[in-house]
Amino acid sequence: MNLPFGWLQFAQNRFKRQQKPPDGRRKTPFWSWVWFIGGTLYLALPLLATFSFSLQMKRDTISLQAYKSAFADPAFINSFLFSIGLATVTIIASIALIVPTAYWIRLRLPQARRTVEFITLLPFVIPAIILVFGLIRIYSQPLSIPFTSLSMGQSLTNSKYGTLILIVAGYMVLGLPYMYRSIDTGMRTVDVRTLTEAAQSLGANWYTIMTRVILPNLRTALLSGALLTFAIVVGEVVLASYLGVAAFGPYLFLLGQHRAFEPAALTFATFLLTWIAMGIIQLVTGGQGQTTGAH
Amino acid sequence: MAETALPSLKVKRSKPDWRVWLGVLPFFLFALLFLILPSLKLFVGSFTNDKGQLTLNNILQLITQQSILDSYWLSIKISAVTAIGGGLIGFLLAYSVTVGGLPKILRPILITFSGVASNFAGVPLAFAFVATLGRTGFITYLLSHFLNLKIYDAGFNLYSFLGLSLTYMYFQFPLMILIMAPALDGLKPEWREAAENLGATGTQYWLRVALPILLPTILGTMILLFGNAFGAYATAYALTGGALPIITIQIGAQIRGDVLHNPGLGYAMALGMVVIMGISLLGYSLLQGRTERWLK
């Protein structure tokens, strides 16, 4: 079939179809395909480009040399493991802080709900760069609480542990909206009040209720909150570089200043890691993808 | 707080007891130390001079110093452009996989991809775009090799407003897809049937029924995208190295060293950002309230 005829027929078909009384939806979703293919290309091409670039480290041949070289760098291993450690601590601390809070609000203190929800939304208004600005200005001197004479002995930013506390706290703040929403939604769907009453009537104490009843029932919510936090923390660069922490984000940034192929390899690997995290969230929550804001 | 006293009347075995509040004490303490105090510091700092006295000079300087205003304006422009552009593209994509008649299998693929892309930002995203549209990038090469189109000779530059906008779009429109797809699902088939029974064409249905219902969601999400881009720092810094002085990069420079020679002005700059972000979040939540009337 020659092309003009094909196009004519296509146009006629479209015309005919529009003449017919509309029956819900068009059968040739031409424009839908155009948008879909265009959008998918926009999403896929940068990854394809990065991947193909990362394979070209050896001249005139395709090799995984960039990956070998990137993964073999001890600085990479250290910073990456360190970031994973930071993510793990952040996740555990977030869960330990938010689960009891959300639980308590649901059960005993519904009047605190609006205040707590408002606080969990604040990180949307305070971007990472502003948060780290405030944190550094507050904690670079021995903390004195306003309107009192209370003060802490040493500035947090000057000690190793102090910096670690600050960065974990900062990451907890960045992940707060996602973690809180995830856990709160989880508690709504499993009806923690009924579960608690059932456990209590069977004689369980608070510790047993938390560890044997509430947490296992929240595992989907916890997992998706944890993976989102993971996705924020592992590549995060703003807090880490301003607080002077040797995490993966600053490492990748510095590597990009004086290398070409290794950063591309690590970029592609980061992408795969994000993909895995989001894929698992999709699987366990069965639908709604969430999104973070660590740009 | 007035509202805290009210619901306790309804709770049956309510102990109007301060001890109940102990349960949320750790959370409030955490929020105070790492969220409220840092924000308060910026607020107080904005109205204090270097001698610790109360002043409005920082704010005055903020709104009169041209370089700072330019930075705000650049940030606002780039956020608005990518919010509107990302919003439109995201809407069309969400449309195509929900009510647009594409095979059902494509939807979860696009949604997962969007979830990944909207989280794929910062340094890696900047690197990916350098590999794509940089001077020796993939697309740059393809265009010059096959179409003999040398985009850098034609004036394109990745490290410019346009380049940064294209890069931001990578996390902007997927976010729109993630929010719009469920909203488009909320369009009830009955509405379409009712419109058709009354003789409406497809275009009329969209213009007179569907879009008015979706409009608050579309605008609200665009505002969200605006804030999303407005607060972005790492992507811009990794891509342009600070050559494009958006407001977050100016604040970053101020943290590294007092480049403005007035710490108070740095605080005021940060406060200005928080105010703009706050206004956009407020707009978002107001529009969200309107949406929930129809799409539930």
pLDDT means over runs of 10, chain A (295 residues): 43 45 57 92 93 88 89 93 95 94 90 90 90 90 62 71 92 93 88 90 90 89 89 90 92 90 92 85 65 52
A290: left (phi over 0), alpha (psi -120 to 50) or beta: beta
Put simply, whether A21 touches B (Cβ < 8 Å) is: yes
Mean pLDDT value of segment B139-166: 89
Q: Which residues of B touch A281 (CB under 8 A)?
A: 115
Predicted local confidence at residue B10, as pLDDT: 46
Put simply, whether B204 touches A (Cβ < 8 Å) is: no
Return the CATH class of domain B66-292: mainly alpha
CA distance B216 to B232: 24
pTM of the model: 0.84
Predicted local confidence at residue B128, as pLDDT: 93
Mutate to test the interface with B, among A125, A272, A288 (most CBs of B within 10 A): A125
Put simply, whether B131 touches A (Cβ < 8 Å) is: yes
Residue of A nearest to B204 (CA): A22
Enter the ipTM.
Answer: 0.84
Helix, strand, or coil (residue A95): helix
Least confident of A240-249, B10-19, B142-151, B247-256: B10-19
Domain A83-247 has CATH 3.40.50.970: no
Delimit the domains of chain A by residue range: 83-247
CB contact under 8 A, B27 and A43: no
Predicted local confidence at residue A149, as pLDDT: 60
DSSP per-residue codes, chain B: -HHHHTGGGTSTT----GGGGGGGHHHHHHHIIIIIHHHHHHHHHHTB-TTS-B-SHHHHHHHH-HHHHHHHHHHHHHHHHHHHHHHHHHHHHHHHHTTS---TTHHHHHHHHHHHHHH--SHHHHHHHHHHHSTT-HHHHHHHHHS---TTTTT--TTSHHHHHHHHHHHHHHHHHHHHHHHHHTS-HHHHHHHHHTT--HHHHIIIIIHHHHHHHHHHHHHHHHHHHHT--HHHHHHHTT-S--HHHHHHHHHHS-TTS-HHHHHHHHHHHHHHHHHHHHHHHHHHHHHHTT--
**Nearest CA-CA partner of A126 in A251, A273, A239:** A239
Predicted local confidence at residue A61, as pLDDT: 84
Nearest to B30 among A97, A129, A235 (CB): A97
How far A3 CA sits from the closest chain B CA (Å)? 23
CB contact under 8 A, B96 and A114: no
Predicted local confidence at residue A51, as pLDDT: 93
Mutate to test the interface with A, among B3, B4, B18, B35 (most CBs of A within 10 A): B35
Put simply, whether A260 touches B (Cβ < 8 Å) is: no
Q: Which two tokens stand for residue A92?
A: 């555990």
Predicted local confidence at residue B8, as pLDDT: 45
Residue of A nearest to B16 (CA): A109
Helix and strand tally (H, E) in chain A? Answer: 14, 0
Residue of A nearest to B30 (CA): A169
Predicted local confidence at residue B13, as pLDDT: 53
CB A276 within 8 A of CB A223: no
Residue of A nearest to B167 (CA): A46
CA distance B133 to B157: 8
Put simply, whether B270 touches A (Cβ < 8 Å) is: yes
